[in-house]
Structure 1
């Protein structure tokens, strides 16, 4: 699989609600055809995705706006927070080829847009939701401390 060329995101766009979260976040372009797939995915979440969504809507995360099934570039992220430039992915049963593809996706999002991708397995989310919650909380605290770098 060929890696697409790197591009810079030269402009910023405010959130649709004009900065309810107090900031301006980079616009991440995406393939328009992904929008309908993302909508279908939101209507039919897996058990693990529903549990994760319940976690991300808890009081501790209220200051961060997460979106489900967000088109980014040529991918659909399970969960995305523009404020933190964070993607959370829930991986199903994987084999070597899928793991390679997931790693490539993570590398592209990091290189092009400075997005951090964290991954959990379906099994972790379903059977160890408290551990997943604690890890997300720790990861977000660390990301929230990093200096903001918008634009190119």
Structure 2
């Protein structure tokens, strides 16, 4: 039986820990710079999810996975949350390659826009709940005997 991580709206959510993720230590310097940058939408989102405020789920901010730094990562779900600002308008091919790579590791990527975090945060949080329920709900057919 899969281990339950939490419940969202009464629905049990199972853990999906992805082990042995690649890590590029050369990105440590860039990681520190990104954390200091304090991008407003990331700070707003972080305040909603840090310290297990969002359904007791533990989020990491600015995590190195392979040769990429992701905005937010949930180890217990194998879930990446990416906040796309206007710079991503010109990076659709790069973002696609990056997302394909991350998904090849067994991770899921939930993308939200900088605009929505700043202007529709309650909708973003509801969409995140729905995404987690859709992909991690423990149902009788998903249980491992």
Please give the range of the TM-score, normalised by the shorter of the 2 chains: 0.7 to 0.9
Q: Using the alignment, how far apart are the partners of 1:29 and 1:139 within structure 2?
A: 25
Higher helix share: 2
What is the alpha-carbon root mean square deviation over aligned residues?
A: 2.4
For 1:115, the equivalent position in structure 2 comes to 107
Q: Using the alignment, how far apart are the partners of 2:90 and 2:16 within structure 1?
A: 38
Alignment of 1:2-151 (within 5 A): 25-57=18-50, 59-62=53-56, 64-94=57-87, 97-111=90-104, 113-145=105-137
- Scaled by the length of structure 1, the TM-score of the pair is 0.73
Distance 1:107 1:79, change over 3 A: same
Decide whether the 8 Å contact of 2:16 with 2:78 is kept in 1. no
What secondary structure sits across from 1:34 in the alignment?
Answer: helix
- Scaled by the length of structure 2, the TM-score of the pair is 0.76
Please report how far the alpha carbon of residue 143 of structure 1 lies from its aligned counterpart in structure 2 after TM superposition.
Answer: 2.9
Q: Using the alignment, how far apart are the partners of 1:85 and 1:106 within structure 2?
A: 13
Return structure 1 stretches of 4+ with deviation > 6 angstroms. Answer: none
| Long gaps (5+) in structure 1 | 1-21
Please report how far the alpha carbon of residue 28 of structure 1 lies from its aligned counterpart in structure 2 after TM superposition.
Answer: 0.9
Q: Per-residue CA shift, 1:45-98, capped at 9, x if unaligned?
A: 211001111122363332x22100000001000000111111001111146640
| Long gaps (5+) in structure 2 | 1-14
In the alignment of these two chains, the number of paired residues is 126
Decide whether the 8 Å contact of 1:84 with 1:143 is kept in 2. no
